[in-house]
Each structure stands twice: as structure tokens, then as C-alpha cells.
């Protein structure tokens, strides 16, 4: 299950940590967020190293679809209503600036990563979708985004009729590993160096201890339970991607598309390959997945050939705003970048701008927008309730069920995902392979009984 990006761009390997060292800034995690943060710090003359449990970009980043856009689904109307115009404006501007920042870095470093400016569209196939898209257009315009609504008849390159669409102009797409390969060149990264615990300025890895003035958690999902309590502020959701080629696949898509309906799909081109995304579900939930997505692909592109398929997951904060900035008031020298809700390309860039400014003691206009110390109860209340219920049910299943099927994070009952052959935690989204080896945070340890044979949940 290698993504198109992994097939096309092998990344060079780095050494692992040997023994104890110290550094001014230490980033945990070498995904898009961690590498961009390290890149910005280095550009500003700061000493920085990156500790990575696996390999460079081996987490969610290698399995993204890599749209670089401020169009994050239907968000702006709700965001203005729930969090106020100022915060929504800051969110929109930060993400628009992130697109520009990619363009600037790519130009300055002369990176050949298939970066192209291209419009992004939200679409609906339902009558009621028209109204929702028009309201979102008004909200986007109010926040300064170049947006316009168009009737469905103007969209010709999707394999079905849409009722309406909302275009954000001047968005972008690229090949993420080509980009990361180049910007990581001068950065000191230790691969196969998993952080097992962090105490104040000390980071304990499986290979040695690292002492740091500032510590940046860019490990996708923060694996510490206290402080921060991020596990009660977000859940994880999986999505699936198919790379299709052949008959009736458009030669080149002129836009990127994202459906706002419950069964909406994501489309982007990569040369003459079409990347079709969908099948999303909460991690540990038994629906969606490759099977769902393949059925849709067969319906719309019956003669296409699948040349790759992959999946990933992302953190979904209750109030739909990433957590970027100081980790906790109790640890002013720790920083966090998480909760990217499947829009981590621009969010990683925002994280790099905000966190590097904080460390270099510079003002940043977006610090307050993304601060993890915010409390937006109105914006996140419904999602908080859903997550609490999931957690209580998951914990009860874990503690009443067989011990060997418990998540090592908090003891929730694990669900077997037959399609991906993985054990998944529906509470916080940790994943393990069929042999019980940890795949995804926030758990830090393998399953207690390794080599438990995977069986379909009854
Ligand atoms: C299917 C799918 C499609 C997507 N498409 C888009 C898109 O088109 N546009 C967009 O903007 N976003 C998209 N996203 C979201 C985006 O891919 C992610 O938000 C982004 O890649 C997250 O980057 P990251 O650096 O935070 O995490 P990761 O890439 O997961 O990096 C975290 C790193 O930390 C390491 N790590 C974890 N624990 C430890 C530890 N204890 N010690 C050391 N290292 C550790 C991991 O090994 C990993 O390499 C998509 C998401 C999904 C699920």
C-alpha cells in the first residue's frame, strides 16, 4: 500500500541517535509539520534537531493528497458564527499566507515538486447544497478570500452532474515528498529514534537522552496525556485514496474538488493520474474504507486501472481549529502542532510561522487564532459530547472485555479493521498492525499480547 508519492520519490535515510546529546531546539516528528518548523528555525539561525520514530515523512505526510488550500470544507460561515469574525478572518488569512509561503520557498530553493496554482472547488450534487455553497461564498468574501459561486453546469470534468460549486481562486497542489526531500536536506534528523517520554527539558528516546531549551511536539497526535489533555480535545478520522489511470480519466484536471455532501468525494490530478479520495470514517468505526471507495470508482470510471491505493488519518479538534503554539501554561518552553483536520499542508506551514516566531520572540498576528489555550465551548460542544460518549463506551468495552484487546494508551477496547488488517481504538485513534505492533499515536507501546491473531469483530 505505497502512495503515489512514495512510489515516485524515495527519500534518503538518516542515522539514528547514539547516546546523549543536547540542542537548543528539538522537534519531535519528521512529518510536514516537524520539517517545516525545523526549516523555519534553521533559516532564522537557530540550532535545531529532529527526532523521528520511523523515517522522514513516514507518518501521515507520505499518504496525503497534498492540496494546498484555504478551502477546508464548509467552515467559514460556521466559524464566523461560533468563534467570531476576527478569529475566522485570522484563520483564512493565515492559510492564504501559507499558500504564498510554499510558493516563495519553492521559488527560492528552486524545488522541482510539481507545484502549480490551480482553483479549488467545493461541490454538491444535492439541491440544498446550492444554498449552503452560496452562504459559504458570502462568508469567504467577507473574510477576504477570492471566491465565487458557479452553477453546476459549468463543472464539466467530474463524472457526475453537480448542482453548484464554490470556487476559491489561486490555490495550489504539489508532490509532497519531492518538496520535503529538498527542504530537509540541511536539517539534522535522527531516524528510528522514538521518543518514549518527556520530562521538562529532557527527552528520553529508545537510543539516548536529549536535553533541550525548547521542545516542539510535531508527532501528529500528542502522545503525552498530561499536561495539555489533547486526548479529550480531538479524535482521529481515516480517509482513503485511489490512484486511477486509463480510459475516461481526464487527461489533466483543471481544478481540485471536494464534495460537501455526506458521501462527497475528493478529486485532484497528478499528471494523467486521478487521485480519488473518500470512504472517511472515525478511526475504529466499521464503515467507509477502500471497499466503499472502490465501488464509487467502478461506478464512475468502470474502465480505469488502479495503480496505487493508500490511507491515512488525521486529528479532528472539536472546534475545527488546529492547536498551534504553547503546549501548556505549565510548560512555556514546549510547543505543539496538531489537530489539522485533514488540511495539514497549509496548517503545517501556519505552525512553522507561528511556532518559529514564538521561539524567536517575534510577534505573530495568528498566535491567538490557533492558541491551544483557547476555550471555544460553543464551537466544539456537540463534538465534545460525541467524543465523550465514544470514550466512555470504548473504555467500558476495554475494561470489561479481554485484556489483550485493550489499547495501551488508556485501556479502550480495540476494533479489528478487516480491510486494513489493523487493530483500531475508536476513542483516540491509536492503531496497531495484526501482530500488535503500534502504528499510530497517541499510544506509545505495542499491544500487550503481541501476535494476537486478527479476527473480525463479532
Ligand atoms: C487521506 C488524507 C488525505 C489528505 N489530504 C490532504 C490534502 O490534500 N491537503 C492537506 O492540506 N492535508 C491533507 N491531509 C492532511 C495531512 O496529510 C496531514 O494533516 C499532515 O500530513 C500531518 O502532518 P504531520 O507532520 O502533523 O504528521 P505526520 O506526517 O504523521 O508526522 C508525524 C511524525 O511524527 C513521528 N512520531 C510519532 N510519534 C513519535 C515519537 N514518539 N517519537 C518520534 N517521532 C514520532 C511519526 O513517525 C511521523 O513521521 C490529508 C489527510 C488524509 C488522512
Report pTM: 0.96
382 with 369, same domain: the answer is no
Residue 135, pLDDT score: 98
**Structural domains of the chain, count:** 2
Q: Please tell me the distance between residue 314's alpha carbon and the centre of ligand 1 in angstroms.
A: 7
Is 382 found in the same domain as 369?
no
Residue of 96, 209, 292, 342 to mutate, ligand 1, most atoms within 8 A of C-beta:
342
Distance 138 CA to ligand 1 centre (A): 31
CA 219 to ligand 1 centroid distance, Å: 8
Whether residue 410 lies inside any domain: the answer is yes
- Indicate whether 371 and 382 sit together in one domain: no
Asked whether residue 131 is domain-assigned, the answer is: no
Query: Does residue 420 share a domain with residue 400?
Result: yes
Are residues 396 and 362 part of one domain? no
Residue 428 shares a structural domain with residue 384: yes
pLDDT in tens, 260-305: 999 999 999 999 999 999 999 999 998 889 999 999 999 999 999 9
User: How many Cα atoms sit within 13 Å of 90 on the Cβ side?
Assistant: 17
Using a 6 Å CB cutoff, which residues line ligand 1? 28-34, 51-54, 58-61, 63-67, 194-195, 218-220, 223, 239, 241, 277, 312-314, 340, 342-346, 348, 441
What CATH number is associated with residue 339?
A: 3.50.50.60
Q: Is residue 162 part of a domain?
A: no
Half-sphere exposure of 170 (CA within 13 A, CB side): 11
Question: Looking at the structure, do residues 431 and 325 belong to the same domain, yes or no?
Answer: no
Beta carbons within 10 angstroms of residue 254's beta carbon? 10
Which region, left, alpha or beta, applies to residue 43 given φ > 0 means left and ψ of -120 to 50 means alpha?
A: alpha
Q: What is the pLDDT of residues 341-380, one digit of tens each?
A: 999 999 999 999 999 999 999 999 999 999 999 987 777 8
CB 402 within 8 A of CB 414: no
- Per-residue pLDDT, averaged over 237-247, amounts to 96
State yes or no: pLDDT of 451 exceeds 50.
no
pLDDT tens by residue, 61-114:
999 999 999 999 999 999 999 999 999 999 999 999 999 999 999 999 999 999
Residue 315 CA to ligand 1 centre (angstroms): 9
Within-domain flag for 194: yes
Question: Is the domain of 358 the same as that of 409?
Answer: no
Residue 140 belongs to a domain = no
Q: Report yes or no on 199 lying in a domain.
A: yes
Q: Is residue 31 included in any domain, yes or no?
A: yes
Shared domain for 431 and 329, answered yes or no, is no
Considering the domain architecture, whether residues 368 and 413 belong to the same structural domain is answered as no
Say yes or no: 383 and 435 in one domain. Answer: yes
Domain limits for position 427: 378-440
291 C-alpha to ligand 1 centroid (Å): 23
Do residues 436 and 418 both lie within one domain? Answer: yes
Indicate whether 359 belongs to any domain: yes
Amino acid at each position: 500500500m505505497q502512495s503515489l508519492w512514495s512510489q515516485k520519490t524515495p527519500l534518503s535515510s538518516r542515522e539514528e541517535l547514539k547516546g546523549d546529546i543536547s540542542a537548543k531546539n528539538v522537534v519531535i516528528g519528521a512529518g510536514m509539520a516537524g520539517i517545516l518548523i525545523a526549516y523555519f528555525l534553521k533559516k532564522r539561525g537557530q540550532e535545531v534537531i529532529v527526532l523521528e520514530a520511523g523515517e522522514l515523512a513516514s507518518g501521515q505526510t507520505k499518504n496525503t493528497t497534498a492540496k494546498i488550500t484555504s478551502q477546508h470544507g464548509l467552515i467559514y460561515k460556521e466559524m464566523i458564527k461560533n468563534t467570531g469574525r476576527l478569529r475566522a478572518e485570522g484563520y483564512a488569512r493565515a492559510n492564504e499566507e501559507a499558500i504564498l509561503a510554499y510558493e516563495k520557498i519553492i521559488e527560492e530553493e528552486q524545488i522541482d515538486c510539481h507545484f502549480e496554482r490551480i482553483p479549488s472547488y467545493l461541490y454538491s450534487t444535492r439541491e440544498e447544497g446550492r444554498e449552503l455553497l452560496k452562504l459559504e461564498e458570502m462568508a469567504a468574501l467577507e473574510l477576504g478570500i477570492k471566491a465565487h459561486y458557479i452553477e453546476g453546469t459549468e463543472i464539466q470534468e467530474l463524472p457526475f452532474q453537480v448542482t453548484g460549486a464554490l470556487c476559491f481562486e489561486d490555490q495550489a497542489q504539489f508532490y509532497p515528498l519531492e518538496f520535503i526531500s529538498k527542504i530537509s536536506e540541511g536539517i539534522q534528523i535522527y531516524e528510528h529514534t522514538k521518543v518514549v517520554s518527556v520530562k521538562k527539558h529532557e527527552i528520553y528516546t529508545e537510543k539516548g537522552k536529549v536535553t533541550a531549551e525548547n521542545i516542539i511536539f510535531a508527532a501528529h497526535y500528542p502522545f503525552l496525556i498530561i499536561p495539555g489533555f489533547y486526548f479529550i480535545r480531538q479524535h482521529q478520522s481515516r480517509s482513503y485514496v485511489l490512484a486511477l489511470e486509463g480510459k475516461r480519466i481526464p487527461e489533466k484536471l483543471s481544478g481540485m474538488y471536494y464534495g460537501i455532501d455526506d458521501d462527497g468525494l475528493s478529486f485532484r490530478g497528478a499528471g494523467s493520474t486521478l487521485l480519488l479520495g473518500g470512504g472517511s470514517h472515525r478511526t475504529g468505526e466499521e464503515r467507509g474504507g477502500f471497499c466503499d471507495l472502490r465501488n464509487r470508482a467502478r461506478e464512475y470510471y468502470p474502465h480505469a486501472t488502479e495503480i496505487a491505493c493508500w490511507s491515512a488519518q488525521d486529528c479532528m479538534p472539536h472546534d475545527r481549529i488546529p492547536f498551534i503554539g504553547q503546549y501548556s501554561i505549565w510548560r512555556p518552553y514546549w510547543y505543539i502542532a496538531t489537530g489539522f483536520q485533514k488540511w495539514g499542508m497549509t496548517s503545517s506551514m501556519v505552525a512553522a510561522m507561528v511556532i518559529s516566531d514564538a521561539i524567536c520572540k517575534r510577534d505573530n498576528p495568528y498566535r491567538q487564532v490557533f492558541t491551544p489555550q483557547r476555550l471555544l465551548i460553543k464551537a466544539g460542544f456537540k463534538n465534545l459530547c460525541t467524543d465523550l460518549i465514544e470514550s466512555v463506551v470504548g473504555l467500558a468495552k476495554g475494561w470489561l472485555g479481554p485484556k489483550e484487546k485493550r489499547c495501551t494508551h488508556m485501556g479502550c477496547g480495540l476494533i479489528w479493521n478487516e480491510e486494513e488488517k489493523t487493530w483500531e481504538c475508536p476513542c483516540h485513534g491509536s492503531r496497531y498492525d495484526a501482530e500488535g505492533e503500534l502504528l499510530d499515536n497517541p499510544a506509545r507501546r505495542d499491544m500487550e499480547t503481541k501476535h494476537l491473531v486478527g479476527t473480525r469483530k463479532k
